[in-house]
Every structure is written in C-alpha cells, then in structure tokens.
A and B are shown apart, each in its own frame.
Chain A
Amino acid sequence: MTNEELTVTSKKESFIGNVQSHISALQSESKIHADALKALENLDFPTTRVEDWKYTRTARIANEQWHVANNNATLDITPYLIPNLDATVLVFVNGFYNEALSSKTEEGIVMNLNQASNQSFEYKHIFTALNVAYSTAAINLRLGKNVVAEKPIHFLHIITEEKTLAQASIFIHAEKSSSLQLVESFVSTVEGRAFSNRLLNIHVEENAHIHLDKIQLEGDNQFLLNDDNIHIEANGNFTINTLTIDGGWVRNGLNIIVDGENVEANLNGFYMPRGKQHVDNHTLVDHRKAHSNSNELYKGILNDQGTGVFNGKVYVQVDAQKTNAFQSNANVLLSNDAQMNTKPELEIYADDVKCSHGTTTGQMDDTALFYLKTRGIGDTNARKLLAAAFINDVVNKVKHEAIHQYVVNELVKRELLFV
C-alpha cells in the first residue's frame, strides 16, 4: 500500500467516524442500509485520477469536520418560497424534514417518512452510499394511479448553520397515468461552509408525467451534490431543468433510464459559475427500449475564474431501435481565466437510430456587443442582455409561470440578467 492510499483511507475513515458520531443511521435493520454500509467499505473519496471526477475535486469535502445541525422549527421560510406559487411545500432544514414548516400533501399522494425505499441503488460513488447509510431524512412519495396533482410539490432545502452536513433523500413513485409538477430549490441562510448531499430517485410508471425544475441557489462556500436517478417506463414523460444560479461547488449527477417504448425524456440546464465557483453536470441517458426520444440542452456562461464541467453520456442499447437522442452543450467564456471542460459520449449499439450531439465553447459575439453599444447601451448591460439571450431557451423550458418568474428574478437579483 502506498502512502497516498494510506492517507486517503484514513481520510475516509475519519470522515465516517465523524459522521457516525453525529448521525445515528436510519433504518439500521433494513437491507438497504446494510447494503449501503457494505458499499461504503469498498468506496472511497474519488481523486482526479477517476475519469468521472477528473475536473471536480472532493478533498475539501473529505477534509472537513462536518456536523449535524438543528432542525430549526422557528425559521421563517417566507423569503425562500416562490412568490405566487400555490404549492405543497416540503421543507428540509439542514437536511432534516421539518413537518411544522411543511404543508400536507394533497389527496392521492401518500407520503411516508424515513421509510426504506424498495428501490435498488447503484452506488456509483461514495456520496450515494454515505447518503443512504447516514441519511438525515428520507421521504417517500407515492402518486396514485391516474392522479393528476393539482398543486406542484416544492422541495425546499435550507441550510441554516455552518459546517452542516445535510443528507436528505427523496423517493418518488408515480403510478400509471399520474401527473405531477415538482420544483426543488436549495438555499442557505448562512455564508459559511456546508455540504448538501441530496439523493433523488424517481420512478415514472407507464404513461406518467413528471416535470421537475431544480433551482440551485447556495452560497460561494457551499458544496452541493445532487444524485438524481430516474427510471421511466413506456409512454412516460419526464422533464428536468437543472438551473444552477449560485453555489461554490456544485456536482449534479443525473441518470435517466429509458425503460419503455414511446418515452420522452427532456433534460436541460444552465450554469453560470463566476468568482471561483465550480459547476459540474454529469448526465447519462440510457435508452433500453425502442421508439423513445431524449432531448438534452445544457448551456453555460463562465466568468472570472469560474469553472464548468459537462459530461453527457448517451447509451442506445441494442434493443433501442428508432431512438431519437439529441444532445447539445454550448458555453460562453466571459473571461480569460474561466474554464470549461466538456465531453459528450455516445455509445450506440442499435443500427436504426437518430442521434446527434454537439458542443461549442466560445466568447461573446463582439459584433452584437458593438451593435447594442451603438444604441446607447453600456458594456455591462449589453453583456447582460446577450447573456440573457444565450440562456433564454433554457430558461423558457421552465413552463410554470410563477417558477419561471422566480428563476428570472433570482438571476436579476444577482445582476446576471438585465430585464
């Protein structure tokens, strides 16, 4: 064993030791928990030698002495609600589900707290295993057959204390022909370090429709990891918009299994790292059955010393004939120090498919900039107008009016958009 391996191992052990002293593992008798603990034994914090983590460092997470914060029931959540959105709000404070601050789910949607999911996990990296083994809260939602939810469900994650380790997990099962709008937002009331390691599993049954708008708004010193796993059956329709407006270190892992015919999966996102922010999107669309479509559009605007990673995998398995899979990643660099690492990966084993992918990384169009200036618009506002134009098609994927407006407002508030 080399010295380096020794250090890493001890790092993991001390990390887990620290976590154990704070979080009593949930569902300690369950198989899922036993599996997670077992997986933890074999997994370690990834180094940049691991391909999937080549540009995203985890050392600052591994080295921190995290603790578990209070589930603060007196918190005023009004500033973090989405204006004009009549939603069922489910609130997680420092990773704990807070019933007092949450609303009741409507009829047809059954919620269970801290109940082991019967869904199986693939432990791609240590963070999923950590989440399951030492979960701060796990909620299960089951949307009944033919239930068309009247209200959107808003998962609101709030960090209120420094050094918090928040490990919420959300399991959603949408039964046949059900329909639900989801929105998920991540905010923090403090500026200090925190690590949110959030797991989401959604099972979309036959002909069910799920639309998820994910809005990431954490601070410069915070770490946010999302592990999203989506399983879609025949005629199912799933859309996710991953909108990274703010956050020091963000890693979004999105895995979509298209496991039926005539499925439509849409995955879109934008990210705007600036200062020293780092945003990483790893997506996988696994087409296993024929006649399905996936559309992927990610856009990034990188400023200052901001860095971005996009890795988009598309698998078209041998049985997935007549698949249409489209992927696009476009980036604009606003400074010489900004950096974007983008890598599309297509693996196609079927012979009758339509697939395309494209990535571009460029600078802001000088001709357009000059044109705007000749009309009296100053440099800063001209750049904002063009930035808004660049990500406009992704912003417009947010269909719900109140949520769309909220996204626009959060961008404007940070002076990222000019309206």
Chain B
Amino acid sequence: MLSIKNLHARVEEKEILKGLSLEVKPGEVHAIMGPNGSGKSTLASVLAGREDFEVTEGSVTFNGNDLLEMAAEERAREGVFLAFQYPVEIPGVSNMNFLKAAIGEIRKHKGLDPLAAKDFLQLVKEKSKLVELDGQLTNRSVNEGFSGGEKKRNEIFQMAMLEPTLCILDETDSGLDIDALRIVSNGVNALRSPERSFVVITHYQRLLDHIVPDFVHVLYKGRIVKSGTKELALELEERGYDWIKEEVESV
C-alpha cells in the first residue's frame, strides 16, 4: 500500500529525513517512535503534502502511484489521512460545512453521487459516537474553543467520516489524559480493518497498550534505525533511547 524508499527531505536548508525507508501493507499498524527531533512529524507532514518540506531524494508510492507528485487534497481524496498533532482552529467554518465539503469532494473524486443530507446526518450521528463527541461540538466552528482532548477526538471523528485507507496519526496521544486516550484509541481500533493501514507516530509506549501495533520502528536522525514488534516499544519504555543512539553511533 505505502512504500517509502530512501526518503530525504529538508525544510529550508536543514535536512531532516536522511534516507528513510518503510513498507506498509494493507491492514497493518506501524508505530514510529523516536526521540525529539528525529524527524517523526516531518515524515507525517511530507506524507500529507505540506509544501514547506522539500523532498530531495527517494520515492513514496501509494497504491502504486507516486504520492509526492500529488497535491495535499489529491492525496486526501486517494485515501491518505493525517490526524494532526496540533489540529487547526478555523473560526467561522462550521464542522458540518467543512465535513460536507470534504466528503463531497472525496466522493466526486471516486465518481460517487453526493451524499444526501439525511444520509450525511446519519453518518455524523453514527461516527461521532465512536469518539463520544457530542452534538454541540459537531455544530461548532472547526476546533474553535475545543479542549486539547476534544480536538484530538475531532481528528478521529473526521477520520471516521472520511474513511481513508492510510491513516497517519501524528502524536495523537500527546497531552491526553487517560480517559481521552482510551476514547481516542477505541475510536481508532474501531476503524481497524484488513484494508486500512495505520502509521502511528508517538513518543510514548503508553498509546501502544491501546492501539497494538504489528510493527514498531525507531526513527533517529532521519532514518529508521531499528524495527521490531510491539516488544520493542516496551523495551524503549524501559531503557529509553540512549542505547539505540549508542548502537547507531558505534556503527
């Protein structure tokens, strides 16, 4: 589904990704961990199509297509979804209008008829339950005045509404209390399916108790330096990142 080969990316003059490779197959959950500044969020931004980052080398293909050639909106229509680390507040744009517009464009891209108003509302009702987001919030402006936890739940709600095939979660757990973490994780787990893959970027192993990954990768200095299964995350929690850094530096 997603194939990243030798990806190099920089912002302004600073090279952040330095030869990252990753293969994600349908239905798999990959966790990406790593110390601060290792390039985790850059990876998320590059995959979502943020223009501040320049890819200088390597390739990313998504379902056989060159992802890097697509604009951010095309990627989204093809099924890529980024849950933001810092969801953006957009005063004056209602959550509902926003989602209607998004679903409208995605369906159009897929050659589907527009969703009837009744079906749209039914979908909102159904999906907002997944993340225990009440009707009040869905009617407000996008993320405006939402608490940190509500913003993250809103990201997962949008993900549920748009039904992407590749979900990238950029530190969705950061700043969440244990209840919110449970709600967000339950929402994500409910969306797991054999066709849908997840790249879960996190700083903490705690999230992976709830969203159990198939693979865990350690990102350090812009490359994946170690891969394993969920046990690797536990080891990182126990021992920190220093042993990984030492391993890398000694090579």
Binding site for B on A (CB under 8 A): 367-368, 370-379, 381-382, 385-386, 388-390, 392-393, 418-419
Q: Considering residues B87, B93, B105, which has the most beta carbons from chain A within 10 angstroms of its beta carbon?
A: B93
Does B162 interact with chain A (Cβ within 8 Å)?
yes
**Contact between chains at B90 and A368 (CB < 8 Å):** yes
Closest to B161 in A: A375
Q: CB-CB contacts of B53-93 with A at 8 A, as 1s and 0s? A: 00000000000000000011101110001101001101111
Nearest Cβ on chain B to A375's Cβ, whole angstroms: 4
CB of B93 within 8 A of CB of A386, answer yes
With A372-B98, A385-B101 as contacts: A390 and B92 at CB distance below 8 Å:
yes
Q: Are A378 and B105 in contact (CB under 8 A)?
A: yes
Residues in chain A near residue B51, CB distance under 8 A: 370
Residue of A nearest to B158 (CB): A375
Q: Is the CB of A418 within 8 A of B101?
A: yes
Q: Rank and list the top 7 A-B pairs by shortest CB-CB distance, nearest first.
A: A389-B92, A376-B76, A373-B72, A375-B102, A392-B92, A371-B88, A373-B73
19 other A-B residue contacts (CB within 8 Å) besides A373-B72, A374-B72, A375-B162: A368-B90, A370-B72, A371-B88, A372-B101, A372-B102, A373-B71, A373-B73, A373-B76, A374-B49, A374-B76, A374-B82, A376-B77, A376-B102, A377-B73, A379-B73, A385-B90, A386-B93, A389-B92, A418-B101
Residues from chain B with Cβ under 8 Å of A381 in the complex = 101, 105
In this complex, the member of A382, A388, A389, A418 whose beta carbon has the largest number of chain B beta carbons within 10 angstroms is A389
Interface: B50 (CB within 8 A) = yes
Report yes or no: B50 in contact with A375, Cβ–Cβ below 8 A: no
* In the bound complex, CA of A379 to CA of B73 (Å): 8
Q: Which of B73, B84, B109, B158: most chain A Cβ within 10 A?
A: B73
Please report which residues of chain B, range 75-124, place their CB below 8 angstroms from some CB of chain A when the two chains form the complex. 75-77, 81-82, 84, 87-88, 90-93, 97-99, 101-103, 105-106, 109
**B48 contacts partner chain A, Cβ-Cβ < 8 Å:** yes
Q: Which residue of A lies closest to B92 (CB)?
A: A389
Given A388-B93, A390-B92, A419-B97, the answer on whether A371 and B105 have CB atoms closer than 8 Å is: no
The residues of A that contact B77 with a CB separation of less than 8 Å are 376
From B71, B76, B91, A375 is in contact (CB under 8 Å) with B76
Q: How far is the CB of B240 from the nearest CB of chain A, in Å?
A: 33
Please name all residues of chain A whose beta carbon is closer than 8 Å to the beta carbon of B76 when the two chains form the complex: 373-377
B residues near A, CB below 8 A?
A: 48-51, 71-73, 75-77, 81-82, 84, 87-88, 90-93, 97-99, 101-103, 105-106, 109, 141-142, 158, 162
Contact of B109 among A371, A372, A376, A418 (CB under 8 A): A376
User: What are the residues of chain A within 8 A of B158 when measuring CB–CB?
Assistant: 375
Q: Which residues of A contact B81 (CB under 8 A)?
A: 374
Expressed in whole angstroms, the Cα–Cα distance for A28 and B50 within the complex equals 69
In the complex the two chains form, what is the Cα distance from A401 to B37 in whole Å? 52
Chain B residues near A388 (CB-CB < 8 A): 92-93
Is there an interface contact between B73 and A376, defined as CB atoms closer than 8 Å?
yes
Q: Is the CB of A377 within 8 A of B88?
A: no
A381 to B73, CA, bound (A): 11
Whether B91 pairs with A389 at a CB distance below 8 angstroms is: yes
Q: Residue among A370, A388, A418 with the most chain B CB within 10 A?
A: A370
A70 to B103, CA, bound (A): 51
Q: With A and B bound together, what is the CA distance between A386 and B51 in angstroms? A: 19
A378 cross-chain contacts in B, Cβ below 8 A = 73, 105
In whole Å, how far is A332's beta carbon from the nearest beta carbon of chain B?
12
Please, which residue of chain A has its CB at the minimum distance from the CB of B48?
A374
Task: Kindly report which residue of chain B lies nearest to residue A389, judged by CB atoms.
Answer: B92
A411 to chain B, nearest CB (A): 14
When chains A and B are docked, how far (Å) is the Cα of A378 from the Cα of B76?
10
CB-based contact B49/A373 at 8 Å: yes
